[in-house]
């Protein structure tokens, strides 16, 4: 038996069916939870993966912009020669 850190509801989790890092949701409040301990089962609120994906997208866009600027600078240098 585990306890939801958000609403303190008791959640039945079979320790043999989960691994550390597994995610599940609380049947009472719907919070996304992550298994952080196995003996006894400990749950914590899961980090939102959507936010991480957005950050990755932003990083990729910044890298593309920087590469485009580098290409433009090289073209300008070639024209000056």
pTM above 0.75, yes or no: no
pLDDT digits (tens, 9 = 90+) for 22-70: 999 999 999 999 999 998 999 999 987 655 555 555 666 776 766 666 6
Separation of alpha carbons 64 and 18, rounded Å: 40
Residue 8: the pLDDT is 95
Supply the pLDDT for residue 39.
87
- Spelled out in words, what is the top-level CATH class assigned to the domain 2-45? mainly beta
**CA 73, CA 11: separation in Å to the nearest integer?**
59
The domain locations on the chain are 2-45, 49-81
In whole angstroms, what is the distance from residue 36 CA to residue 21 CA? 6
């Amino acid at each position: 038996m585990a306890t939801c850190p958000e609403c303190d509801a008791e959640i039945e989790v079979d320790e043999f069916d989960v691994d550390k890092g597994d995610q599940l949701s609380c049947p009472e409040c719907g919070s996304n939870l992550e298994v952080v301990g196995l003996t006894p089962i400990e749950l914590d609120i899961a980090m939102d993966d959507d936010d991480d994906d957005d950050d990755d997208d932003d990083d990729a866009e910044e890298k593309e912009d920087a590469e485009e600027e580098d290409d433009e600078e090289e073209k300008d240098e070639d024209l000056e020669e």
